Chains A and B, each alone.
Chain A
Amino acid sequence: MTATAQSAAGAGAGQSDAILEVLHLTRAFGGVTAVNDCSFQVRRGTITGLIGPNGAGKTTAFNLISGFLKPTSGTVIFDGERIDGQPPHVIARKGLVRTFQIPRPLGAMTVLENLVLVSAGQEGERVWNVWFRPGRVGQREREIIDRALAVLEYVDLIHLRDEYAANLSGGQKKLLELARALMAEPRLILLDEPGAGVNRTLLRRLVGYIEELCFARGITMFIIEHDMDLVARLCNPVIVMSEGTRLTEGTPEEVRNNPAVLEAYLGGQYR
């Protein structure tokens, strides 16, 4: 845990190497402690994987980091700032954006509307501005629409621009989740099982997007994933959670060969 190794790349003056720091995070639901004294870091500019058997507390950890759940105790630091206990919309506005495990499109709205909704700093979200200063609202709206169109081009959903989001296929909904996250101008995206239920072709595309967004555009990615092949291809480092806490961390290769990890997944009988 003391591995705050200063890497030369990415760490600017006064900037810590870790974009996300989780310290002794704990969350109890009644008698069950889903996340238990869990500590880890996500380094800036990496695609960090979060794996672990079912019930290890991965999604709960994501919910605690993104503010959808309040921790029982512990600290979450995003880019040098404490964010634990803050409401989700405040955290999202700081640039820490999450996607959902099962895509949640706003079904009765068009694909374009789903994206345009997300942008921050919309003066038109104050109804009196809409009534009394429509000019300014329209100007900002135009900028946001053009940005949304560019994002739709990028994820290749532009042809579905005016389709109701409910009518999208499963894979397209995954892309919509990613596109919506991009509209928030994030610095860190928490992706909850991006590969689940996605066919090979789309998976290849998703991998391409994630790598490009991280390495070319500098958006750190923190990914929960069960598909070990995908993790091995995409993530480095990989954090392993088991029974609510961090078990180990390392390259995909190290993690795969770690007997403790095998034990956590398979339950001790192969000891």
Chain B
Amino acid sequence: MNGSKSTTMIVAAVTAAMILLPLLHSGGSVSAVVNFLAPFVTTVAVLAVIAIGLNVQWGYTGIFNFGVVAFFMVGAFVAAIVTKQPADSEFVQYVGGFGDRLAFLPVLDSQEWLPFVFGVLAAALAAALLALLLALAALRLREDYLAITTIGVAEVLRRVTIEEAWLVNGTRGLTGIPRPFAGWFDAGVYKFVFLLLALAVLAVVYLLVERGISSPWGRVLRALREDEDVVAASGKNVFAFKVEGFVLGAALMGVGGAFYAFQQGTVSPETFTHFFGTFIIWAMLVLGGSGNNAGAIVGTYVIWGFWSITLQLQGFDLPVFVVDRISFFRDFLIGALIVVVLLARPQGLVPERARVSRWLERRVRELQQQGAKREATPVESAPRTAE
């Protein structure tokens, strides 16, 4: 990653706080620390997938999506209604509920895994479809207008989920969302299983996106961010590449949303505020370093660390006026952190690398070695005159 001292210090400070606070709180219990860290890291992994999605859109392609929450929410709700059983009470209404029907393979108790595979795929597909529609309608707009459009779409979708109670149960939201593989493990062990699952998904997403970006495809996206006219003058179909970047990023946000729903077990429209679903994700990316997937992960870790630390403070014996205001303090702290980091390091904690294509990287390294050899040879063979 990046050898910068300030980045290491910030990450180390967050990690220390994540370990020390629950340790102090519980009076030195290691299991309390583990019980706190496991869901924390899980959430970081899930949100990092969304941050990487945004990085594809903004960090590489330069598309200003200020409606991240729309894709996040669509992913979460679609995954929920695909994996849940049909609604069976007059107080609960939602569409879908395919859980049983999707478990059609008699392999390894498919109820425990197959619906989730479909759930994640459907979430990615739904978010991608939303992005495609939005792209065809609005992606030709200048970036500031596009930002406003995406906010508008996100708000409309939020209102629809609230007002149309038949869709996803209105403000009461969906509860009891099943969890992948939950039946195979003890409840105590399961949170570590889910943690590993979330980390595995993050790893796959990270590798796919890194591969994608460190290629001619990624090069065109990064060029688009710099200057669309130059890309057009180079014979590339600007609109097609922008749609690809936007849709791929949105699909990843959908996947993140799906795992968020599985982790929480409950999602309601109230979860998906613009603050949590869009602003925080942007904060993670910008703080970590847009244009770098590792940066997106580091930023998610730091921001979510701050979020969790401040919530931990609630458990301590602090004056009432502090405890009452802790969630505001949290928002303030995150805002202040972004300001400080951006003033000190505008490129974020883990800045973008110079050359991106791995083939280019390889070739340049070859050339540098050749050049070094060529320069080294005459010096060695030259007679030493003075010493």
A126 and B217 within 8 A (CB): yes
B235 and A108 within 8 A (CB): no
Most buried by B among A87, A130, A145, A183: A130
Q: What 0/1 pattern do residues 355 to 371 of B give for CB contact below 8 A with A?
A: 11101100110010000
**Measured between alpha carbons, how far is A141 from B358 in the docked complex, in Å?**
10
Q: Would you call A118 an interface residue if the criterion is a C-beta within 8 Å of the partner chain's C-beta atoms?
A: yes
For residue A124, which residue of chain B has the nearest CB? B216
Binds A, one of B42-50, B149-157, B207-215, B252-260: B207-215
B354 and A97 within 8 A (CB): no
B211 and A131 within 8 A (CB): yes
**Measured between alpha carbons, how far is A127 from B233 in the docked complex, in Å?**
21
Q: Would you call B274 an interface residue if the criterion is a C-beta within 8 Å of the partner chain's C-beta atoms?
A: no
Binds A, one of B122-130, B220-228, B326-334, B379-387: B220-228
Q: Would you call B350 an interface residue if the criterion is a C-beta within 8 Å of the partner chain's C-beta atoms?
A: no
**Measured between alpha carbons, how far is A161 from B238 in the docked complex, in Å?**
26
Q: Would you call A162 an interface residue if the criterion is a C-beta within 8 Å of the partner chain's C-beta atoms?
A: yes
Number of interface residues of A (CB under 8 A): 47
Partner of A92, one of B215, B223, B232, B363: B232
Residues of B within 8 A of A107 (CB): 226
Q: B215 → chain A, closest Cβ, in Å?
A: 4
Residues of B within 8 A of A109 (CB): 219, 222-223, 226
**Measured between alpha carbons, how far is A131 from B248 in the docked complex, in Å?**
14
Q: A133 → chain B, closest Cβ, in Å?
A: 11
B234 and A124 within 8 A (CB): no
A184 and B354 within 8 A (CB): no
For residue A115, which residue of chain B has the nearest CB? B234
A89/B232 contact (C-beta < 8 A), A109-B226, A112-B360, A131-B208 known: yes
24 A/B residue pairs, CB under 8 Å, sorted by A: A68-B233, A89-B234, A92-B234, A98-B233, A100-B229, A100-B233, A104-B229, A109-B226, A110-B355, A112-B360, A113-B355, A113-B357, A117-B234, A117-B236, A124-B215, A125-B236, A130-B212, A130-B215, A131-B208, A141-B216, A141-B359, A162-B355, A162-B364, A164-B354
Residues of chain B touching chain A, judged by Cβ–Cβ distance below 8 Å, are 208, 211-212, 215-217, 219-220, 222-223, 225-227, 229-238, 241, 244, 248, 291, 352, 354-357, 359-360, 363-364, 367
